Each structure stands twice: as C-alpha cells, then as structure tokens.
Amino acid sequence: MLKSYLKLAWKVLWRPKFFTAISLFGICFTLVVLMVASSVLDHVFAPQAPEVRQGRTLGMFRARMTGEHSTSTSMPGYQLIDRYARGIPGVERVAAFAMPQTVYSYKDGQRIKSLIKRTDAEYWRVLDFQFLEGGPFTDQDVANGAFVAVINATTRDRFFGGPPAVGRTFEADGLHFRVIGVVPDVGILRLVANGDIYAPLTTAKTDAYRRELLGGFGGLLLARSTADFPSIKAELESRVRTAPLPGKEWTKLIAPAESLFDFLAGNLFSGRNEDRSHPERLWAVIIAAMLLFSTLPAVNLINLNMSRIMERASEIGVRKAFGASSRTLVSQFIVENLVLTLIGGAAGFVLSALVLRALTASGLIPYAHFALNYRVFGYGLGLALFFGLLSGVYPAWRMSRLDPVQALKGASR
C-alpha cells in the first residue's frame, strides 16, 4: 500500500514542476532558518566538549541580595562558593572560576587582546579539556601562585606563531606567564569553558577576591548523579541563608545552584523579587517564536496544496467513484506531502550546513564552531515532519470531502 503511495507521490511531484519548485523552496528555506537557530541554541546550551559532564553539573551563576528598597544582582563572589558550596553531600567536586577579563599584551608594537580566565585546579577536573600540548595546572601551582597558564590554540598562534608553545613565556596585563598547556578554542558563548588564557586564581593582582561575598565568580558543582540535584539545591540554599550580609539595608541573599539554561531563564523572566527561575517560560518563548516563524511558510504551503488538489479534482472523483474511502485519500495525500517535505528537508540540511559553515567562517561570534551534529539533525528531522503534517492535514481533509459527482464534472469551488 505504502509503496504505491510513494510511487504516486513521486509521479505527482513531477507534474506541475513550477509548484513543486515553489513548495521545495519554501520548505527548504524554513528549515534552514529553524535549523540554524537550533544549531546556535545547541552551541550555547548543549553538553559538548569540554563540558562533557554538563548533565551532572550544577552552576552558581547569580547571587541576589534584596533589601526593603533595593535589589542587587551580580555573580557570586569567591567566598560564597568557597565557604558555602564545598562539602555538600552528593557533590563530588566544586570548581570556582573568575569571570573572564579582557587583558592586553603588546608584541612588536601590536596589541593582542585576550580574555583571561582565572580558575582553581578543580576546574580542570570538572571540565574535560582535550589538551593539544602539555596539561593543566595543579593544586600545587594554585597554592604557590605560580605564573603558569593554559592557552587556547588561537592565542598560541598569536603569541608564538604555532606549536610548540609549552615552556615558552608571554606577557599579558603586565604579568609574565609560562605556558604549560594548550587547549582547543572554545566558543565565546560557552560561558563556563570559554577563554584565551587560563591562569591560576592566585595570579590575580591582589587577593581581595578571597574576602568578597559577591561579584565576579562562577561556581561549578559536579554531582554524583542527577538524582542528587534536589537535595544539593536545598542544602546550598539553606547554607547560603546563614551568610552574613554586608549591611543592615539587606535582608536576604540567594545564590541558587542551577543549569545554564535555568540561569538565563531566570535573568530574562524572573521578576525583581522572585527567587525562582522560570525555564519553562524561556522554552515557551523559543517554541512560540519557532511556531510563529513557521506559520507564514506553512500557510503558503497549505495554499499551494489546496490549489493542487483542486487541480486534481477529476482524479479524486474517479478514485472516490471506484470506492476509495476518505481515509485512504487522506493518508495518500499526507504521504505525498511528507515526501515533498522530506525532499525539501534534505535540501535544507545541505543548505544549513553551508550557512553554518559561512557563519563559522565569518567570525561574527569568535571561536564559535557551528556544525550539524546528530542532535541538530534530530531537531531538523522532527521539524521537517512536523511542518509536513502541519501543511498537509487541512488540504487532505478538504480533498476527502469533495463530492465525487461534482469532482468528476470538474466543477469545484
């Protein structure tokens, strides 16, 4: 049965070529936009190297103090992570990193602008960097305040013109570092793992950060399993509540452990005095935007499909007169439409790959490497099928309701 549907679909595809071309163009273009969008989202949020353990990791990305009249929002401070997040049951490791800072180096009169990220040694054990050269700095290096650094591949090229870099020294922000490792570039939108230069926390120009409760740091909590998340969150919340606040005007401090997605949702959609993050609202906005965007192409495709059906009224009349049920006709038409969508989808994949490659090459987002991986492929396939059904169901239903006598006469309205 399906085989004859497919055969028929193939034949129909070639009949009015112009319409097939228009439909394919629409489907292809819609999928390209949706796939590029989902690839960018995937690049920002999905677990990928070096954040391979992202699924078991909770982050501390925001701290908020509230008082009677004021609210202060910032990143957590080192003390908040160091003193309150360590030793929570169920947490394997706690890493702290300073927010990247732009530093300048001057080499032969040229300025080199780099992002320096200062971290502790645990950072290298929570994340899983694939070292191109050398290795990470150790607890010993951090304790001694050794001026050693891990740099990314681009920074290596900028300073040394290529490998090998380990053992060589460079200047940044007036400080001299010795390279001990080189890692691949990480997209700048990866808040946790990005950076040009990674150096021990203790190479900071002053140790004032050790006393700060708020500002400038992010924390990573690697849990034994996701099952421990609720208890970890609750424990951290109750511990943070005991933190001494910096002034009488402040009454409450929160610093939740959450995923990056929850953090962003909290930034965008939580009210000024709301503690909870609302990831479902961010999801709703993303899905609504995608739906809204696909509405216009879908209506366009429905219109085209409707016209094509009316053109085929006599064929449908004959089939109905010979006893084809509405269901048969509907499923035939949906199969036809799905075939069309999948062909458009295939073209969309090729085109998306090209667009993503161009976007990567354009350097609009430094170090971002957008690619079609199996996850994005999955989203794309789902989107194509959804789109095919969306634009096929109504015309099919209309078709199945055609009156055979009228249809045979060729008078349809």
Partner 1 sequence: MTRHLLKLVWNRKRSNVLIAVEILLSFIVLVGVTTLAVFYVDNYRKPLGYDVENIWTISFEKHAPGRSSVTIESGPEDAAAARKPVDRGFVGQRARVAQLMMSLRDMPEVESVAAAFVTPYSSNTWNSDIEVGGKHHRYGFNAATDDFARTLGLEVTRGRWFSRDDDGAAWTPVVLNERLAREVFPDKDPIGQFVDEQRPGDSQGPRMRVVGVIREFRKDGEYAAPENFLFNRNRLDDPDVEVQPPNEIVVRVKPGTTAAFEEKAITRLRSAEPEWTFQAEPLTQSRETSHRLWLAPLSAAAVISVFLLVMVAMGLNGVLWLHVTQRTREIGLRRAKGATIVNIQRQLVGEVVVLTSIACLVGVVIIVQFPLLDVFSAVSPMVYGVSVAISLVCIYLLSMACAWVPSRLASAIQPAEALRYE
What minimum distance in Å lies between the beta carbon of 216 and partner 1? 4
Taking the complex as a whole, how short is the minimal distance between the CB of residue 390 and partner 1, in angstroms? 14
**What sections of 324-403 are H helices per DSSP?**
326-362, 374-400
Residue 353 has a CB neighbour count (10 Å cut-off) of: 17
Amino acid at 364: L
Name the DSSP letter for residue 99.
P
How far is the first Cα of the chain from the last one, in angstroms, to the nearest whole number?
30
Q: How far is the CB of 199 from partner 1 (least distance, A)?
A: 9
Give 207: exposed, middle or buried? Use CB within 10 Å, 0-12, 13-18, 19+: exposed
* 3 state DSSP class of 110: strand
CB of 228 to partner 1, least distance (A): 28
CA nearest 316: which of 333, 303, 337?
A: 333
* CB-nearer residue toward partner 1: 19 or 131: 19
Phi-psi domain of 167 (left: phi exceeds 0; alpha: psi -120 through 50; beta: other): left
Give the separation between CA 112 and CA 172, rounded to whole angstroms.
9
Residue 18 or 374: the one with the smaller Cβ distance to partner 1 is 18
Shortest CB 234 distance to partner 1, Å: 27
For residues 15 and 17, give the distance between their C-alpha atoms in angstroms, rounded to a whole number.
Answer: 6
| Amino acid at residue number 293 | F
Task: Write down the least CB distance from residue 243 to partner 1, Å.
Answer: 17
For residue 50, the tally of other CB atoms under 10 A from its CB is 19
Q: Are 180 and 135 in contact (CB under 8 A)?
A: yes
Residue closer to partner 1, measured from CB, 4 or 303: 303
For partner 1, which is the closer residue by CB, 67 or 90? 67
164 versus 246: smaller Cβ distance to partner 1 = 246
DSSP H/E element including 103? strand 101-107
**Residue closer to partner 1 (CB basis): 215 or 404:** 215
**Toward partner 1, which CB reaches closer, 49 or 286?**
286
Point out which residues bind partner 1 (CB under 8 A): 18-19, 22, 25-26, 29, 33, 68-75, 98-104, 106, 109, 111, 118, 173-174, 201, 204-206, 208-209, 212, 214-217, 247, 249, 272, 295-297, 299-304, 306-308, 310-311, 364, 412-413
Q: How far is the CB of 19 from partner 1 (least distance, A)?
A: 5
CB of 167 to partner 1, least distance (A): 25
Whichever of 6 and 112 has its CB closer to partner 1, that residue is: 112
The four Cα atoms 374, 379, 381, 387 give a dihedral, to 10 degrees, of -170
